[in-house]
Structure 1
Amino acid sequence: MANALPAQAFSKDQCVAGLRAAVGIIEKWAASSEQACRILRISRSTHTRAKQRDPDWSVALDADQMQRISFVLNIHAALRLVFDNPDNVYGFPAMANHNEFFNGRSPLEIMSQGDMVSLYETFRRIDVLRGAQW
């Protein structure tokens, strides 16, 4: 019988730093609190606390939540490589996109469906803009 692999543990400092960075980016994308909570799979109270910047606050996140944070950070990095203008870097996720995957919806609408597949596929399509090879 095979042993299950242990879940990767993240320190509370890593969780706080990652969550605050992701929340800040998503806020600059003009997402609602509800959208941010769905994208990151966090509660409204955790979202509010992350925005408050209390130095004594800590949070423990699971691997799924940390992966979601990673996707947000990587989408942001890809957009910064593609666009020079901050208005485009932060505005692109809220813009209607008419390619086949988005079908007139914005990347933000797709990501805020809340499932990991939508977040991953959005990342993949944005990452391609910078010339990423799959």
Structure 2
Amino acid sequence: MADLISAGSGVPHGVPALSADRFEPANRKRLSGPALRTFLAICDLWKLGEAERRAVLGFPARSTYQNWVKMVREHRDITLDADVLMRISAVLGIHKALGILYSSEQEGVDWLHRAHQATVFGGKPPVELITNGTQDGLMTVRRFLDAARGGLYMEPNEVDKGFRPYTDADVVFS
């Protein structure tokens, strides 16, 4: 195992190490405005209220949240902390996955707001996990959708609901 690890770094050969500079204020400042504007647009699409948006962002004070929104709408500089950017990144990943899995934005939004029987959702809509205020809730939904994108699990769509797996009797040899 030691020969698979880059000397002194603890990182396997061929795997790029995460650079600490990605969390530097200058980098976070560069990303914060566009990230928050995109987050707000997605929240509009998902029909999330202010309280839900604040929960997704980790419960910033209402005045802090409103100041952030004002600043990014005026295209002024803002620097969000790494936790808030990670949460926004999870929302972007969820939005992207819904765009891949569903043919229309509305179908993806409907999926978010519809009760789901997968164990992680416990019969509740995924949006409840997204807005529960924890980074884990966001990442659980993101991982579920990433797995669905990879074919591991997803409820069948209308076209596939009536599909019956092939049997040996269906195979024709010539």
Confirm or deny a common fold (TM above 0.5).
yes
Shift of 1:70: 0.6
Partner of 1:85: 104
Is 2:57–2:84's contact at 8 Å kept on the other side of the alignment?
yes
Is 2:116–2:123's contact at 8 Å kept on the other side of the alignment?
yes
The range that moved more, 68-77 or 11-20, is 11-20
Partner of 2:73: 53
Partner of 1:72: 91
Partner of 1:34: 51
Shift of 1:90: 2.6
Q: TM-score, normalised by structure 2?
A: 0.65
Partner of 1:19: 36
In structure 2, distance between residues paired with 1:88 and 1:44: 31
Shift of 1:132: 6.5
In structure 2, distance between residues paired with 1:101 and 1:64: 23
In structure 2, distance between residues paired with 1:53 and 1:132: 38
In structure 2, distance between residues paired with 1:89 and 1:43: 30
The one-letter code sitting in structure 2 at the alignment partner of 1:81 is: I
Partner of 2:167: none
Shift of 1:50: 2.3
The range that moved more, 43-52 or 27-36, is 43-52
- Superimposed CA distance per residue, residues 38-92 of structure 1 (whole angstroms, 9 cap, x where no aligned partner): 111244345444277212x332111111111110001111110000112112332
Gaps in structure 1 of 5+ consecutive residues: none
Is 1:23–1:47's contact at 8 Å kept on the other side of the alignment?
no
1:130 pairs with 2:157: no
SS in 1 for 2:144: helix
Partner of 1:44: 62
In structure 2, distance between residues paired with 1:54 and 1:43: 20
The one-letter code sitting in structure 2 at the alignment partner of 1:53 is: R
1:103 to 78, 103, 122: 122
The one-letter code sitting in structure 2 at the alignment partner of 1:93 is: L
Gaps in structure 2 of 5+ consecutive residues: 1-18, 153-174
- Superimposed CA distance per residue, residues 68-121 of structure 1 (whole angstroms, 9 cap, x where no aligned partner): 111000111111000011211233222211211101211111111111111111
Identity %: 27
1:112 to 131, 147, 152: 131
